[in-house]
């Protein structure tokens, strides 16, 4: 919907750049930080049979988050003009002013999303995952409604402002749909500001390193935005379109597995050897599930990125050339997709062990590498290869992928030294990649055979063939995850 109304123009650039600034608040104090600092303590108290103390901790954290985000939102609105030149130095004139106005609209909504992340922490600790991860659909739905309603009479920067207000309203709706279930699950919630509880103090001890770690990671995201703003017009928007697709498997598979495993890992009890054995089993199982789903995602982004981008975006202001541009960004993202998703699960294992500092150290290394490599790949490499400057955006995502593999290797080595050898068997990875490549070859045949047809014809057929082939080949080669999915589908069909 956004591509239809905005394409890759200046308004799309301004909107995407504006969202990055208040998103810093959400990422610093939202889901990732609460998952690492709050969930292990809260879920641990529930696992020990102390719901009263768990409710007290949850209430204090909610109260303090409310105060902290209120202050941060107020400050953010005030200092926006001073930070625009830092995060989007390539924006000038009307484009710069529109970005400032959009940031000020976004900030209150992002504060509400931080509180929504607290609800997610409570729900996940009680093993309620569907509501917390489907609630953002409400946020997206309100924004889509705003585009549909105002898109008939507005365009450009004016439409961007209406959609930004829709994002604020959607943030409130996303919070409100979760609150009733949270209050029903934890009847011991006691809101207030106090830090005497040892459990509350433990959350804060974990909170600091994780905030710094998330802040370091955000530096990488902002560097990407800064460098993209120095590239030709539309680069910031194109990066946003590509990241939306590339983050989908990270969210669906990497974050999903990590989010479901963290509360279970945090409940581990027993001797050091027993805890290590339990964590190895949970971690290896999660890594296999991630690999089974992310390997085909990686191959699809690399070889079928134009089909995916055209199917999702090619309408209205978004052209086929834009889809090819986004494909190059997706190909760069494919470099580190598996490392990014598996790395999240390794980090969650450290968090379950109440160790938030080790992931921080490795995140710093990744960000430094991403910054150095990204600068060269975005601004120098395209010229050396005789390519247009706009292709530098693909260099940003590829350099981030290389850095992601370095971080993943450090996380795995450190954790293996602590709990024993973990990872996915090489034979399984070979079978997964072979199945994905077989599916991609058939999908390319469909794509070439339907040349000249629209994306709504080519996309579903090519990607459908790709998916069916992958599942068929993995099932035939004896991959357990494929058989488990097939068995689950058969059981549901029989019940119906």
pLDDT at 132: 80
Residues 251-298 pLDDT 10s: 888 888 887 887 788 777 788 888 899 999 999 999 999 999 999 999
Lookup result for tokens 């989010």: 259
Which is nearest to 330 in space by CA: 311, 304, 351? 304
Lookup result for tokens 């009307």: 94
pLDDT band at 18 (very low <50, low <70, confident <90, very high): confident
| CA 407/CA 108 separation, integer angstroms | 33
Q: Is the pLDDT of residue 190 over 60?
A: yes
**DSSP structural state of residue 353:** T
- The answer to whether residues 223 and 395 touch, using CB atoms and an 8 Å cutoff, is no
For 79, residues 6+ apart whose C-beta sits below 8 A from its C-beta are none
Q: Is the pLDDT of residue 375 over 60?
A: yes
- H/E segment holding residue 132: helix 130-134
pTM value surpassing 0.75: no
Which is nearest to 462 in space by CA: 448, 479, 478, 474? 448
DSSP code string of 414-454: HHHHHH------HHHHHHHHHHHHHHHHHHHHHHHHTTTS-
Rg of the chain on CA atoms, in Å: 23
For 489, residues 6+ apart whose C-beta sits below 8 A from its C-beta are none
| CA 277/CA 275 separation, integer angstroms | 5
Maximal CA-CA distance, the chain: 68
- The answer to whether residues 230 and 85 touch, using CB atoms and an 8 Å cutoff, is no
pLDDT at 36: 65
pLDDT at 197: 76
Distance of CA 23 to CAs 18, 82, 269, 308, Å? 9, 17, 36, 26
Q: Is the pLDDT of residue 327 over 90?
A: yes
- The answer to whether residues 382 and 389 touch, using CB atoms and an 8 Å cutoff, is yes
- The answer to whether residues 405 and 391 touch, using CB atoms and an 8 Å cutoff, is no
Retrieve residue 362's tokens: 């490795």
**DSSP structural state of residue 193:** -
> Cα dihedral sign for 208, 213, 216, 218?
negative
Q: Is the pLDDT of residue 425 over 60?
A: yes
Residues 398-414 pLDDT 10s: 998 999 999 999 999 99
Q: Where are the domains of the chain?
A: 1-207, 231-424, 427-496
| CA 159/CA 8 separation, integer angstroms | 14
pLDDT at 42: 83
| CA 465/CA 303 separation, integer angstroms | 14
For 356, what's the count of Cα atoms within 13 Å in the CB-facing half-sphere? 24
Task: Provide the mean pLDDT of the chain.
Answer: 87
Q: Is the pLDDT of residue 227 over 90?
A: no
For 363, residues 6+ apart whose C-beta sits below 8 A from its C-beta are 213, 216, 217, 407
For 411, residues 6+ apart whose C-beta sits below 8 A from its C-beta are 343, 346, 347, 350, 358, 359, 362
Retrieve residue 280's tokens: 């190895």
Lookup result for tokens 């585009």: 147
Q: Inter-axis angle of helices 256-266 and 39-47, to 10 degrees?
A: 50
Lookup result for tokens 């994306």: 455
Instruction: Answer with the residue of higher pLDDT: 24 or 255.
Output: 255
Which is nearest to 438 in space by CA: 480, 486, 481, 474? 474
Retrieve residue 128's tokens: 């309620």
Residues 28-37 pLDDT 10s: 665 556 666 7
- The answer to whether residues 443 and 466 touch, using CB atoms and an 8 Å cutoff, is yes
> pLDDT over 70 for what percent of the chain?
93
Q: Is the pLDDT of residue 83 over 80?
A: no
**DSSP structural state of residue 121:** H
Which is nearest to 21 in space by CA: 95, 101, 92? 101
């Amino acid at each position: 919907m956004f591509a239809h109304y905005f394409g890759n123009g200046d308004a799309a650039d301004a909107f995407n750049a504006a969202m990055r600034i208040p998103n810093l608040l959400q990422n610093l104090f939202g889901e990732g930080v609460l998952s690492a600092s709050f969930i292990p303590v809260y879920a641990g108290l529930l696992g020990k049979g102390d719901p009263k103390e768990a409710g007290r901790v949850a209430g204090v954290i909610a109260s303090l988050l409310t105060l902290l985000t209120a202050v941060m939102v107020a400050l953010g609105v005030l200092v926006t003009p001073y930070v625009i030149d830092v995060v989007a130095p390539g924006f000038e004139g009307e484009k710069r002013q529109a970005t400032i106005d959009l940031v000020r609209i976004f900030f209150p909504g992002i504060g509400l999303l931080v509180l929504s992340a607290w609800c997610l922490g409570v729900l996940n600790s009680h093993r309620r995952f569907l509501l917390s991860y489907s609630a953002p659909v409400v946020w997206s739905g309100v924004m889509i409604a705003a585009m549909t309603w105002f898109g008939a009479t507005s365009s450009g920067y004016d439409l961007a402002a209406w959609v930004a207000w829709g994002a604020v309203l959607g943030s409130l709706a996303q919070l409100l749909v979760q609150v009733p279930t949270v209050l029903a699950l934890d009847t011991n919630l006691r809101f207030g500001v106090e830090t005497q509880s040892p459990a509350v103090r433990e959350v804060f001890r974990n909170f600091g390193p994780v905030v710094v770690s998330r802040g370091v990671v955000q530096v990488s995201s902002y560097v990407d935005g800064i460098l993209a703003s120095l590239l030709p017009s539309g680069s910031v928007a194109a990066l946003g379109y590509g990241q939306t697709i590339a983050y989908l498997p990270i969210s669906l598979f990497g974050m999903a597995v990590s989010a479901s495993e963290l509360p279970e890992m945090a409940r581990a009890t027993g001797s050091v050897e027993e805890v290590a054995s339990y964590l190895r089993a949970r971690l290896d199982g999660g890594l296999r599930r991630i690999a089974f789903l992310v390997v085909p995602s990686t191959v699809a982004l690399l070889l079928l990125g134009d089909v995916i981008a055209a199917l999702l975006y090619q309408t209205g202001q978004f052209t086929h050339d834009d889809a090819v541009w986004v494909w190059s960004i997706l190909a760069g993202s494919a470099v580190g997709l598996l490392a990014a998703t598996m790395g999240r699960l390794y980090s969650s294992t450290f968090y379950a062990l109440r160790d938030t500092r080790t992931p921080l150290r490795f995140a710093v290394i990744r960000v430094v590498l991403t910054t150095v490599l990204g600068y060269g790949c975005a601004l120098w490499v395209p010229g050396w290869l005789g390519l247009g400057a706009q292709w530098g955006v693909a260099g940003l995502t590829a350099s981030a992928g290389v850095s992601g593999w370095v971080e993943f290797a450090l996380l795995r080595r450190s954790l293996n030294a602590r709990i024993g050898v973990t990872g996915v068997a090489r034979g399984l990875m070979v079978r997964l990649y072979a199945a994905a490549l077989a599916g991609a070859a058939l999908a390319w045949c469909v794509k070439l055979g339907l040349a000249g047809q629209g994306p709504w014809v080519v996309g579903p057929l090519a990607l459908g063939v790709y998916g069916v082939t992958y599942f068929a080949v993995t099932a035939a080669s004896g991959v357990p995850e494929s058989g488990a999915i097939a068995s689950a589908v058969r059981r549901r069909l029989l019940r119906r």
